[in-house]
Copies of this chain bind each other. A is one copy, B any other.
Amino acid sequence: MNVSSIGGLFLSKKEREFRKQLSNVLGFNPGNVELYRTALSHRSVREGADENNERLEFLGDAVLGAVVAHYLFMKYPYKDEGFLTEMRSKMVNRNQLNSIAVKIGLRRITLFNKLDNSLKVSQIFGNTLEALVGAVYLDKGFDETYKWVARQIIRSHLYLTELEHIDINLKNKLYGWANKNGKMLEFETISEKLESGRRFFTIGAYIDNELIAQGEGFSKKNASQIAAQKAIEKLNIT
């Protein structure tokens, strides 16, 4: 038998396998399968804005940001806003999301054009993960999404106690890369202003005098960490 029936619909073997893999990745049975199919469809296979996963990625990125903000708010009741912002940035940056996406199995079920050589395949899956969060949110609501993200993403794949201490490593990592590649790295303050009575810094990461990325924050340390991290993402340093 290559077909089975759900609600009177006969499903092909391929479709049944897709649904099984989807349920495995999610850890629950999805309500609206089409929503998830959209979340898993890269624009290289579906051009229309209402057909591929880019709109869901926009939504999921925002929902994930709110979930992680709440999670950190609860976990660290005495830490200030600068610490929380930095932790979130370490948890949900591009590299982390790409890596988590592959670990939870999105490489297998993401639909994209495998013949398109212009695609940086390693970067597709983090976006897909964000779109998936958007789909879970629309399918199950915010509270269920919170639980799902906390369980399947944060507790399963992010080691917060380690992340608390990696701040020094981001700048070091970038310096290491620059050194290895014979490039000059500098951090410079682009602007400093008062915001609500606090000093607010914008710091740029320059490589060979070219501005690569900038970070903002209420301390030079925070701002330069964020600049370093963005530079690492832009340069695809792994």
Interface status of A13 (Cβ within 8 A of chain B): no
CA distance A190 to B123 in the complex (A): 21
Contact of A59 among B49, B70, B142, B195 (CB under 8 A): B70
Contact of A194 among B49, B80, B118, B197 (CB under 8 A): B118
- Which B residues are in CB contact (< 8 Å) with A69? 58-59, 61-63
When C-beta atoms are compared, the residue in chain B nearest to A213 turns out to be B202
Interface status of A16 (Cβ within 8 A of chain B): no
Interface status of A156 (Cβ within 8 A of chain B): no
Complex contact B55–A84 (CB within 8 A): yes
- Bitwise interface map of A from 40 to 57 toward B, beta carbon under 8 Å scored 1, else 0: 001110000110001101
Interface status of A95 (Cβ within 8 A of chain B): no
CA distance A65 to B81 in the complex (A): 17
- Which B residues are in CB contact (< 8 Å) with A193? 234
The smallest beta-carbon distance between A92 and chain B, in angstroms, is: 11
Complex contact B196–A123 (CB within 8 A): yes
CA distance A66 to B63 in the complex (A): 5
Interface status of A155 (Cβ within 8 A of chain B): no
CA distance A46 to B4 in the complex (A): 64
Interface status of A10 (Cβ within 8 A of chain B): no
Contact of A79 among B49, B79, B204, B212 (CB under 8 A): B49
CA distance A81 to B42 in the complex (A): 13
Complex contact B62–A77 (CB within 8 A): no
The smallest beta-carbon distance between A47 and chain B, in angstroms, is: 11
**CB within 8 Å of B: which residues of A?**
42-44, 49-50, 54-55, 57-59, 61-63, 65-66, 68-70, 73, 77-81, 84-85, 116, 118-120, 123-124, 127, 137, 141-143, 190-191, 193-198, 204, 211-212, 214, 234
